[in-house]
Amino acid sequence: MHPEMKEYKCTIMRGGTSKGIFIMENELPADQPDRDALICRIFGSPDIRQIDGLGGADVLTSKLAIIGPSTREDADVDYTFGQVSFERQFVDYKGNCGNISSAVGPFAIDKGLVKAVEPVTTVRIHLTNSDQILIAKVPVEHGRAKVKGDCSIDGVPGMAARIDMDWSDITGTVCGRLLPTGNPKDTFNIDGQEYEVSLVDAGNPLVFIRAGSLGMKGFETPAEIEDNKELMERIEKIRSEAAVRFGLVERPEEAREQSPYNPFFAIVSSPVDYRCFNGAEVKRENVDIVSRLLFMLHMHKAYPITGTVCTGAAVRIPGSIPWEVMDAESRKRENLRIGHPAGVLEVYSRADNSNGQTDIKSIKVFRTARMIMDGTVYVS
């Protein structure tokens, strides 16, 4: 024990294309202000480099998972997600993170929170942020979550064991229903200009807009989009108006500070050949829809799983913008292929529209995950 510092047990996990710090609930103070202050110290926030903590100075690596015993009989563990700001002392709990969620099952198995069953262990995860249940099927070998395998995902080097994630119980995450306004499309008037958008709530709330509405081609890299300051400001104004419609804030001007994580903002377009920022090529015949996504006021370098889940739901809604940018053949596919900045991601989604309303029946994705570090973090 260091006389000038306190010790806390934690684990660093990669989940999908994200990396996060996993901490057991009983390691943290019960009082939320004290807890969040400690979490920010562990991450090294506020500091855009997070140089004095474990955070990675990137929105994809400044992520938190608080794990504890389940408070619901139909789940095995509780999982609370937090997006830790590196620009100010703030932890946003308003949404879920699908990539980090994929590491919860392996963590729970390796920590003995869930009994390991070979060859596959089913882990029922209570998403406390939205009070919903996520089902993870984790391959197990020798009593531990299996790491090596033949599954690859764009945005992560190498191959690993495949983890299947069932997000079917995830519509109405924030608003309690799939379409918060009841419409497949809405029109916003921002600074005298009209923008057609689709607001969909599944996994996380998303704003969908056509790339052409923003004067974009749709296959720009994250850096190219972020370098266009006027475009980023326009995106934030549209996102802020959507935050009001989702009920996340009362006024648009509150969204940047009070709800930077949600809603996500997806810029979608029809399939086209393009080159990823890492040099890989994506062919139009290998995708059904192309998307670029913003969260935490930054462009995602790949595609978030909750964004994938919501996109998978949105394309099943006739008249929505994602549905409109796809051709008739792609609409028939149950395995949707999303072209993103780092490659292609698949999501299985199925819905029933027989009664004139969209009822999401199933949404599934697969990811890989593994433990990177398990030990003690010191906080002064």
DSSP 175-199: TSSSSTTS-S-EEEEETTEEEEEEE
Judge whether residue 273 has pLDDT over 90: yes
pLDDT digits (tens, 9 = 90+) for 217-262: 999 999 999 999 999 999 999 999 999 999 999 999 999 999 999 9
**What are 99's two structure tokens?**
């990539």
Judge whether residue 264 has pLDDT over 90: yes
Q: Terminus-to-terminus CA distance in the chain, angstroms? A: 12
Of 3.90.1150.10, 3.10.310.10, 3.90.226.10, 3.40.50.300, which CATH number belongs to 6-170+368-379? 3.10.310.10
Mean pLDDT of the chain: 95
Q: Are 158 and 224 in contact (CB under 8 A)?
A: no
Judge whether residue 174 has pLDDT over 90: no
CA distance 73 to 68: 14
Judge whether residue 354 has pLDDT over 90: no
Bridge partners (DSSP) of residue 23 are 66
Q: Are 308 and 98 in contact (CB under 8 A)?
A: yes
Work out the average pLDDT over 97-115: 97
Bridge partners (DSSP) of residue 380 are none
Residue bearing the bigger pLDDT, 3 or 40: 40
The helix (run of H) or strand (run of E) holding residue 292 is: strand 289-295
Judge whether residue 11 has pLDDT over 90: yes
Of 24-28, 34-38, 67-71, 169-173, least confident by mean pLDDT is 169-173
pLDDT digits (tens, 9 = 90+) for 288-333: 999 999 988 899 999 999 999 999 999 999 999 999 999 999 999 9
Task: Please report the DSSP string for 77-115 in residue order.
Answer: EEEEEEEE-SSSS-EE-SS--HHHHTTHHHHHHHTTSS-
pLDDT at 1: 78
Model confidence at 107, pLDDT cuts 50, 70, 90, reads: very high
Of 73, 79, 74, the closest CA to residue 99 belongs to: 79
The CA-atom distances, in angstroms, between 159 and each of 16, 153, 201, 304 are 12, 8, 32, 19
Judge whether residue 334 has pLDDT over 90: yes
pLDDT at 270: 98
CA distance 377 to 324: 49
The percentage of the chain sitting over the pLDDT mark of 90, rounded to a whole number, equals 91
pLDDT at 277: 85
Q: Can you tell me which residue has the tokens 């949707």? A: 336
**33 contacts: CB under 8 Å, gap ≥ 6:** none
Of 252, 286, 260, 265, the closest CA to residue 222 belongs to: 265
Q: What is the CATH number assigned to the segment(s) 186-357?
A: 3.10.310.10
Predicted structure pTM score: 0.88
Q: Are 199 and 248 in contact (CB under 8 A)?
A: no
- Name the segment(s) of the chain with CATH classification 3.10.310.10: 6-170+368-379, 186-357
pLDDT at 296: 87
